């Protein structure tokens, strides 16, 4: 028999996580719960006593970093509205400041200015809600200096290694232009213009800070590769690396030694190609001690001789370690969720199947432990995005469902990122059509292979996965026994009408990818593929969860479906949280949602007699 693990053990906050070294390597900062909310704590390296330096009680802190040896920066929003403010606090927990105390304004970080202890460069839509201007901000006082003005079409900014603003990315909604200037005294001038389907994404300047950059590019190729290019002319100088099957993610570099170090990409698991022997030797040294876990160096000190190391696998959130290069000393800091035992959890295995029109669909199948892997109840779990992808990693939802006896199928349907341009573009204007067929084909693959009990199949997803859930029960009503929609889109028209103001710059692109309501053909197709207009076909019981402050998928998306189904008499449960946005971040809300999910699935799958 499988040991039933308490639900809270999958979804509660880790006791300690997100470790980060101060630049001098003397202190570690980390997140730990305070009144069930993740806050920042500090301890000296080599000591165990930690000091709490923030006391946020309404919402978890999710991101922070050291700006210098004495001060940290963190960002937070309010009730999930995604209007992130920038905060500063000393390592002693003093002089805490909201540096951007502006209503309905969102902050992006452009450059932490590693060699400037008092300033950062941020982007902020303070002047006009739809666009972000770059500012130099004093992290002690909040004093702002606007260093350029966005004319309205700039979607991104990039600095060189000296913190000088020299690259901008402009868009008209469907065409992107790379703009460049040699110095901040010059005007930006366009270098390359491409349709959004092609991309040249600068990563960083070469280390002489002249005209050469490293970039991710799929120009004249299907898979994104790493190239070296002359930014002053747009000429590709050298192909650094490309993979025949998947896009390349990034090329890391050493700030201290000023050399590229490794290239990352994901096949079914994350892979590294090493460019630098020091980093290659470092990973080999860590692998020799840490065994068959994925290993990620999350942080280093400025001298690059002390490293924070994170491990993980499909069955473990892993641990944090501190590695001292000079002493060749590897020391465990903490197990992230010691209450979860790997041997009680299920393996996440890569699978593939063919779509009805001949595409290879990659995915993952997690089967419950200690059961015969035939005729199982199944939860089909399409990912959000939809321009995103599932990867091999620890997924608490998947492990929870497997522990409760369900097989879980995740698939990277067409449009999922990482598989090249053609696979991505195959999703355009295919919401509810070929994209949905890819999910249906995965379900049929499970049934044909005897894994799934066809009378016990649920579908569950968030965001686009929520749309996919609603589409599944509306357009293939006999396929699914029940469904769970988490912050999902139900109406393609209202979805496009209620995007955040800073997404408006991408609206033309969304029209090309999803549909343009002003185009008669698109309008017909969008109505045909918006589940809210087809609730008359829905017969499967439905559970819906929604955050009232969601800036991406408006509450009305869920309200519309709930009202229509209640009018029709279809069973629908609705969880609406006033203090949440696009997904439930607060621990007590997560617990409530997953308890409801468990009861719902038990009622409709486990308690259902096999036909």
* Residue 102: both structure tokens together: 């502006």
Separation CA 481–CA 457 (nearest Å): 5
The per-residue pLDDT for 503 is 83
The per-residue pLDDT for 59 is 87
Quickly count: other Cβ atoms within 10 Å of residue 343's Cβ.
7
Separation CA 325–CA 490 (nearest Å): 53
Quote the strand ranges of 209-305, DSSP E.
212-217, 225-230, 235-241, 248-254, 259-266, 270-274, 294-300
Last residue of a domain, one of 134, 150, 166: 150
Where residue 114 sits, what CATH number does that domain have? 2.120.10.30
544, 561 Cβ separation under 8 angstroms? yes
Last residue of a domain, one of 93, 120, 150: 150
Look up the pTM and report it. Answer: 0.93
Quickly count: other Cβ atoms within 10 Å of residue 545's Cβ.
26
Domain membership flag for residue 46: yes
The per-residue pLDDT for 608 is 62
* Residue 314: both structure tokens together: 């499909």
91, 71 Cβ separation under 8 angstroms? yes
Separation CA 560–CA 345 (nearest Å): 38
Domain membership flag for residue 333: no
pLDDT tens for each residue of 278-326:
999 999 999 999 988 999 999 999 999 999 999 999 999 999 999 999 9
List CB contacts of 272: < 8 A, sequence separation 6 or more.
262, 263, 264, 283
3-state per-residue secondary structure call for 220-245: CCCCCEEEEEECCCCEEEEEEECCCC
470, 561 Cβ separation under 8 angstroms? yes
Task: Please state, in angstroms and as integers, the Cα–Cα distance from residue 319 to each residue in 16, 34, 305, following that order.
Answer: 10, 21, 20
pLDDT tens for each residue of 431-484:
999 999 999 999 999 999 999 999 999 999 999 999 999 999 999 999 999 999
Domain membership flag for residue 536: yes
Domain membership flag for residue 138: yes
Domain membership flag for residue 532: yes
Domain membership flag for residue 231: no
The per-residue pLDDT for 1 is 58
Separation CA 217–CA 215 (nearest Å): 6
**Cα dihedral 301, 302, 305, 311 sign:** positive
Strands 165-171 and 175-180: antiparallel
Where residue 433 sits, what CATH number does that domain have? 3.40.50.1820
The per-residue pLDDT for 60 is 86
Task: Sheet containing 259-266: give its strands across.
Answer: 248-254, 259-266, 270-274
Last residue of a domain, one of 150, 170, 201: 150
Domain membership flag for residue 407: yes
Separation CA 546–CA 574 (nearest Å): 8
Separation CA 233–CA 91 (nearest Å): 45
| Nearest residue to 297 (alpha-carbon basis) of 269, 330, 258 | 330
161, 209 Cβ separation under 8 angstroms? yes
Residue 331 phi, psi (nearest 5): -130, 130
Length of the chain: 611
Domains contained in the chain, number: 2
**Peptide bond preceding 386: is omega within 30 degrees of 0, i.e. cis?**
yes
63, 48 Cβ separation under 8 angstroms? no
Give the containing element (helix H, strand E) for 438.
Answer: helix 434-448
What is the number of alpha carbons within 13 Å of residue 345 lying toward its C-beta?
24
pLDDT < 50: residue spans in the chain: 610-611
Q: What is the DSSP letter of 609?
A: P
Between helices 434-448 and 464-475, what is the axis angle to 10°?
70
Domain membership flag for residue 188: no
The per-residue pLDDT for 425 is 97
Buried b (16+ CB within 10 A) or exposed e, 49-87: ebeebbebeebbbeebebbbebbbbbbbbebbbbbbbbb
Residue 123 phi, psi (nearest 5): -105, 145
By residue range, what is the domain housing residue 25? Answer: 17-150
229, 237 Cβ separation under 8 angstroms? yes
Angle in degrees, CA 596, 470, 78, rounded to 5: 60
Give the three-state DSSP class for 502. helix
């Amino acid at each position: 028999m499988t040991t039933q693990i308490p639900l809270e053990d999958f979804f509660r906050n880790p006791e300690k996580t997100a470790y980060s070294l101060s630049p001098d390597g003397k202190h570690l900062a980390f997140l730990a719960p305070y009144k069930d909310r993740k806050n920042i704590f500090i301890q000296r390296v080599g000591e165990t006593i930690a000091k709490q330096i923030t006391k946020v009680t309404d919402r978890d802190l999710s991101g922070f970093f050291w700006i210098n040896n004495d001060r940290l920066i963190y960002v937070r929003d309010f009730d999930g509205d995604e209007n992130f403010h920038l905060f500063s606090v000393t390592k002693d927990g003093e002089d805490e400041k909201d540096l951007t105390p502006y209503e309905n304004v969102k902050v992006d970080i452009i450059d932490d200015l590693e060699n400037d202890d008092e300033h950062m460069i941020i982007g902020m839509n303070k002047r006009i809600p739809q666009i972000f201007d770059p500012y130099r901000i004093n992290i002690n006082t909040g004093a702002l200096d606007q260093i350029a003005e966005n004319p309205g079409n700039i979607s991104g900014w990039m600095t060189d290694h000296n913190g000088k603003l020299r690259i901008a990315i402009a868009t008209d909604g469907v065409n992107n232009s790379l703009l460049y200037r040699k110095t901040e005294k010059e005007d930006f001038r366009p270098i390359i213009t491409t349709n959004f389907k092609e991309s040249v994404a600068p990563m960083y300047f070469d280390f002489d800070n002249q005209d050469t950059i490293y970039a991710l590019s799929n120009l004249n190729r299907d898979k994104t590769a790493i190239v070296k290019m002359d930014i002053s002319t747009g000429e590709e100088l050298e192909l650094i690396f490309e993979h025949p099957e998947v896009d390349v993610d990034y090329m890391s570099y050493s700030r201290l030694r000023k050399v590229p170090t490794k290239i990352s990409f994901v096949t079914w698991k994350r892979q590294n190609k090493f460019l630098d022997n020091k980093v290659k030797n470092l990973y080999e040294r860590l692998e020799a001690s840490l065994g068959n876990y994925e290993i990620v160096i999350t942080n280093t000190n400025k001298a690059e001789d002390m490293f924070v190391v994170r491990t993980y696998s499909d069955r473990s959130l892993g641990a944090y370690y501190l590695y001292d290069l000079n002493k060749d000393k590897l020391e465990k800091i903490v197990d992230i969720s010691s209450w979860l035992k790997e041997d009680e959890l299920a393996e996440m295995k890569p699978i593939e199947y063919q779509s009805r029109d001949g595409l290879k669909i990659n995915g993952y199948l997690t089967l419950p432990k200690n059961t015969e892997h035939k005729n199982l109840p199944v939860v089909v779990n399409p990912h959000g995005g939809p321009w995103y992808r599932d990867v091999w990693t620890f997924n608490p939802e998947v492990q929870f469902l497997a522990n409760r006896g369900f097989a879980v199928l995740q698939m990277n349907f067409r449009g999922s990122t990482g598989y090249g341009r053609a696979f991505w573009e195959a999703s355009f204007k295919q919401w509810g059509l070929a994209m949905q067929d890819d999910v249906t084909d995965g379900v049929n693959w499970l049934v044909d292979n005897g894994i799934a009990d066809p009378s016990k199949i649920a579908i569950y997803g968030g965001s686009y996965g929520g749309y996919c859930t609603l589409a599944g029960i509306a357009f293939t009503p006999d396929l699914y026994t029940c469904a769970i929609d988490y912050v999902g889109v139900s109406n393609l028209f209202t979805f496009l009408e209620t995007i955040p103001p800073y997404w408006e710059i991408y609206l033309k692109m969304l029209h090309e990818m999803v549909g343009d309501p002003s185009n008669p053909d698109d309008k017909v197709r969008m109505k045909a593929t918006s589940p809210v207009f087809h609730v008359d076909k829905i017969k499967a019981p439905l559970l819906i969860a929604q955050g009232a402050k969601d800036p991406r998928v408006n509450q009305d998306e869920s309200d519309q479906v709930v009202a229509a189904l209640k009018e029709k008499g279809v069973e629908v449960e609705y969880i609406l949280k006033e203090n949440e946005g696009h997904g439930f971040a607060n621990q007590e809300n997560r617990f409530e949602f997953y308890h409801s999910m468990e009861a719902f699935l038990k009622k409709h799958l486990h308690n259902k007699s096999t036909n």
